[in-house]
Amino acid sequence: MSISRRKFLGWFGAAGLSAAASTSALAAGNKHFEGYPGSFGVLHDISLCVGCRRCEAACNKVNALPHPNEPFEDLSVLDRERRTEAANYTVVNRYEKERPDKPQFRKIQCNHCLEPACASVCFVKALKKTKIGAVTYDPDVCVGCRYCMIACPFEIPAYEYNNPITPRVTKCHMCYPRLVEGRLPGCVEACPMEALTFGKREDLLKAARARISKHPDKYIDHIYGETEMGGTSWLYISNVSFSDVGMREDLGVIPAPQLTSGALSAVPIVAGLWPVLLMGIYAVSKRKEMMFKKEISARHDLFQPTDEEDD
Amino acid sequence: MKKAKYWPGWVVIFSVLVGCVFDFGLSGSSIEEHSSRRRADIIKIDSLVAYGDLEKSPVEFLHDKHTDAMAKKNMDCTACHLKLNGQIYPKFKRIEDTGRIEAMNVYHEGCISCHGKMNIEKEKTGPIACDDCHRKKNQYTSSRQPMGLDKSLHFRHLEASENKCQRCHHEYNEAEKKLTYTEGHEGTCRYCHGKETKENRISMRLASHIACINCHLKTKPEKTIRPPVNCSGCHEAAFQKKIKKATMVPRIKRNQPDTVLLKAVSEDLLTDKSVSRMNFVPFNHKAHENSNETCRGCHHASLKSCKECHTLNGSTQGEGVSLEKAAHKPGSKRSCLGCHEQIKHTEKCVGCHLMMGRNRRMPDASCLTCHAVPISEIGLSSDPDHEKRIVESILQSKNRITETYSAEDIPERVTINRLSSQYEPVDFPHKKVVTALIENMKDDKLASYFHNREGTICQGCHHYSPRSSRPPNCGNCHVKLWDQDNPSKPGILGAYHQQCLGCHTAMKIEKPIGCTECHKEKISSN
């Protein structure tokens, strides 16, 4: 059908105005999930970590992972900053950029967020937040899309790129099978400095606050993971600033699923309702045209047929 | 129809995208980081800030650069500075600011005229264009160190001014509105001259530069040691290190007491016993003078006794800090307890004191270590000689060495074998460690004053238990897992390693390092 320039600009302007008047896609909500009650977590006291790598060795043993090239007693691997990999659910890094005479060590592993981005993004429910706090992975349903690796704000999930037939996403699962039996995670049991303490998340928060208030000049007055990304089950306290040990401080307190829930909640409406609506409008307007043409051809005594073509 | 193309469209779009990724080269690394950009002579010219918001950014002025340039032209301070009462005044070409436009004009006319003249004569000179001085981004970082007189430097100044204190020290007489000098009333400049100029009380910055530099400029040419007159001479760390330290610095003469009996309130209030019943504190003022470089360590606002401003309940003069807080606040450098805590965290002492929280409540009996003289012993009439004798006798008797149990009671070696799955038991050289600690502390007066009961130093490791020659094992209290009711109480594995490694790391003890120097690896049978 023909549409005049004026009409086109009018529709365009109206569409633009309505788009500009819309609000952000964040879901309106004042609900704040504080974790399943009684769920567990781990408190990592960065000031106590000495970089001995016993946690890495224990994780390797408990999960029956392949042995790495360098033994765990080799501390020269700390010379470079590593990230989690297919056979390394956890790594310890050394940070000495800010203070060369006093290196700091930190253990990196899945933070078991209260509202995990990876679980939210996984459309086959391979990653699940369990009620006891661990975020577990089911390799049987995973399709290998690796959305979880993109979504994780801490860049933790790793992938078995070397395995062509049945690759899996790998990450720390807080030794979920051991937790179910009432045992401690392997890394927690192995740490000689007790830089890792296991307990209920609410108890760990209290313990962290008590430690900070006992030594206010030693610790930074912040528990990392209390609110970051909506809260994590793996909490950190530190004697140096968190960014000095490679931890992101720009993540904010909004959980990852909440960032996308607004846009995602609009998808069913867009996919389901709009086609029906638009097709309906089209059908009605097409029918209107057809009726108009019928009426004209019925009254050929009044109207002369023309050569004009609709375009 | 095809128009004549200069650049193909994809090239334009691609380069724009690449430029976006690399920020068009606008954000480079900060040039301030380079060592040549760290200077001690940077003056931030922002005098117009007193008149409202600045239109242009403050100017980074390099003073030493200008004094060096002036020296080359045989010009001295008077080229830029006026004289007030015969002394060079540190402000630029004026004594005080009269208005916004006037202040701006002083700088513009003063700076640009000289730069312009030199520019015409084709000499290397400073900027003339607006934004070359008023730069948006700082070009330099300050390496300026604060400067002050310590006891050695003060003594050298005493010698230089022939013991005439009035050359530097003065007081301001409000009634007569002039500076006077009274012997016995000398104090540090900072007691009156603060950070900002208040009416006719100039800031410390102005006062120190007027007083110091003018006097330094008057140094006779035959003197070998030239006191500094430029910025870096005082404020550059490297030059500060070069300041000669006098070998034998005698005690400053200010009629200060050797010992004092500290009382909570003045004598007249003591007759009313309900005001304060706190024991008096015998205080060794002379010994404390030796542990501070300036008197301001304790006498931070005046040389009077603390209680004159810090009353029992706090007063406005004492900024609301009560006497109890003034003496005991843990984090402060000026309170008795706070200063002692700081010393306890120096390398020599920190091994044992590291784990003790600074805010912890001290054991009740420990108050008597300082509050040693009950009121009844002095009586209501304060006879100064009687007091002095009591104080001195108490202080003398406390000057013992650190107490320990007798040699037979201290075990030679201790075997720690509570956990031995991966490693052999630890053969711990117990007596060696104790002897080393005592040796370390033997000359320390503070340590020996407080470690005055046998068993006190044992509590560095044998903590949270009563003093005893047979203290409990670590494993009696530290069990397998951490204590949820007591979050600072680790499990046994953490307890051993945090205690031992914590002390060794904090005291920078070289050996043992690694795991196997303390406990050998167990050779597994399988």
d(CA B451, CA B404): 9
CATH number at residue B486: 3.90.10.10
pLDDT of residue B414 exceeding 90, the answer is: no
User: What does the block give as tokens for B117?
Assistant: 């003249």
Do B138 and B164 reside in the same domain of the chain?
Answer: no
Q: Is there a single domain that holds both residue B308 and residue B381?
A: yes
Average pLDDT over residues B18-46: 71
Shortest distance between the Cα of B498 and any Cα of chain A, in A, equals 6
Task: Please state, in angstroms and rounded to a whole number, the distance separating the CA atoms of residues B220 and B243.
Answer: 19
DSSP one-letter code for A169: E
Tell me the mean pLDDT in the region B469-495. 88
Residue after which a domain boundary falls, among B241, B272, B297: B241
Residues B506 and B413 in one domain: yes
Mean per-residue pLDDT over chain B, rounded:
86
When comparing pLDDT for A199 and B386, which is higher? A199
Instruction: From B244, B237, B258, B489, select the one nearest B388 (Cα to Cα).
Output: B258
Q: Which of chain B's residues have a Cβ under 8 Å away from the Cβ of A199?
A: 482, 484
Q: Look up the domain containing B235 and give its range.
A: 151-241
Q: Across the interface, do A216 and B360 touch by the CB < 8 Å criterion?
A: no
Maximum Cα interatomic distance, chain B, rounded to a whole number of Å: 114
Q: Which residue, B109, B446, B106, is CA-closest to B291?
A: B446
Among candidates B63, B91, B122, which has minimal Cα distance to B202?
B91
**pLDDT category of residue A160 using cuts at 50, 70 and 90:** very high
Domain boundary among B190, B215, B241: B241
Nearest to B171 by CA among B186, B161, B184: B186
Residues of chain B found within 8 Å of residue A75, distances taken between Cβ atoms: none
Is residue B322 in a domain?
yes
Strands B259-262 and B83-84: unpaired
For residues A155 and A110, what is the distance between their CA atoms, to the nearest angstrom? Answer: 9
Torsion of the alpha carbons at B333, B334, B335 and B338, rounded to the nearest 10: 10
Which of B359, B360, B490 is nearest residue A194 as measured by Cβ atoms?
B490
Q: How many residues does chain A have?
A: 311
Specify the range with the lowest mean pLDDT, choosing from A24-28, B35-39, B138-142, B324-328: A24-28
Residues B391 and B287 in one domain: yes
The closest of B435, B478, B437, B436 to B460, measured between CA atoms, is B437
Q: Are A109 and A156 in contact (CB under 8 A)?
A: yes
Position A24 pLDDT exceeds 50:
yes
Contacts from A30-39 at CB under 8 Å and sequence distance 24+? A32/A230, A33/A114, A33/A115, A33/A230, A33/A231, A33/A255, A34/A114, A34/A231, A35/A114, A35/A133, A35/A201, A35/A231, A35/A233, A36/A131, A36/A132, A36/A133, A38/A132, A38/A200, A39/A131, A39/A132, A39/A133, A39/A200, A39/A201, A39/A233
Are B64 and B110 members of one domain? yes
Res. A311: pLDDT tops 60:
no
pLDDT for B526 beyond 80: no
Residues of B whose CB is below 8 A from A203:
484
The pLDDT of A286-295, averaged and rounded, is 92
| Strand pairing class (A158-159; B87-88) | unpaired
Helical H runs in B79-194? 100-120, 130-133, 151-160
B54 and B95 assigned to the same domain: yes
- Residue B38 is assigned to a structural domain of this protein: yes
Burial, B360: exposed, middle or buried (Cβ in 10 Å; 0-12, 13-18, 19+)? exposed
Q: Which of B371, B395, B419 is the last residue of a domain?
A: B395
Cα–Cα dist A179/A187, whole Å: 13
Domain for residue B3, yes or no? Answer: no
Task: Please tell me the total count of domains within chain B.
Answer: 4
Cβ contact B359–A213 (<8 Å): yes
Q: How far is A55 from chain B (nearest CA, A)?
A: 14
DSSP H or E stretch at residue B496: helix B492-506
Residue B67 included in any domain: yes
B322/B362 same-domain check: yes
User: Is B109 a member of any domain?
Assistant: yes
Closest to B103 in 3D by CA, of B59, B150, B159, B163: B59
CB-CB under 8 Å, A216 with B359 = yes
Task: State mean pLDDT over A222-229.
Answer: 95
Model confidence at B128: pLDDT above 80:
yes
- Pick the residue of B342, B484, B524 with the most A CBs within 10 A to test the interface with A by mutation: B484
**pLDDT band at residue B272 under the 50/70/90 scheme:** low
Cα–Cα nearest to B124, from B133, B115, B132? B115
The residue with greater pLDDT, A141 or A97, is A141
Distances (CA, A) of A8 to A3, A14, A19, A50, B330: 7, 10, 17, 69, 75
| A224: pLDDT strictly greater than 90 | yes
Nearest-CB residue to B498 (from A48, A213, A217)? A48
* Minimal C-alpha gap between B502 and chain A (Å): 9
ipTM (interface pTM): 0.79
Interface size, chain A vs chain B, as Cβ–Cβ contacts under 8 Å? 48
Percent of chain B with pLDDT over 70: 94
Assess if residue B247 is contained within a domain.
no
The answer to whether residue B251 sits within a structural domain is no
Instruction: List all residues 6 or more positions away from B238 whose beta carbon is below 8 Å from its beta carbon.
Output: none
Distance of CA B140 to the CA centre of its chain: 25
Same domain? For B381 and B450 the reply is no
Amino acid at B319: E
At A186-218, the pLDDT tens digits run: 999 999 999 999 999 999 999 999 999 999 889
Identity of the residue numbered B360:
R
Least confident window among A70-84, B228-242, B359-373 = B359-373
Burial of B433 (0-12, 13-18, 19+ CB in 10 A): middle
pLDDT at A199: 95
Is A193's CB within 8 Å of B501's CB? yes
Cα B87 to Cα B25, B75, B168, B216, B218, distances in angstroms: 50, 17, 14, 12, 11
C-beta atoms of A191 and B498 within 8 A: no
Cβ pair B510, B416 in contact under 8 A: no
Q: Rounded CA gap, B505 and B464, in Å? A: 22
Q: Are residues B370 and B432 in the same domain?
A: no
Inside any domain, residue B307: yes
- Cross-chain residue pair A191–B357, CB shorter than 8 Å: no
Residues B172 and B125 in one domain: no
Q: State pLDDT tens for residues B147-186.
A: 999 889 999 999 888 888 988 999 998 888 888 998 888 8
pLDDT at B101: 93
pLDDT digits (tens, 9 = 90+) for B351-375: 999 888 877 888 888 899 899 888 8
Whether B430 and B468 map to the same domain: the answer is yes
A214 touches B: beta carbon within 8 Å: yes
Of A193, A199, A206, the CB nearest to B498: A193
Q: Are B189 and B295 found together in one domain?
A: no
* Closest CA of chain A from B489, distance in Å: 10
Residues of chain A with Cβ-Cβ distance to B426 below 8 Å are none
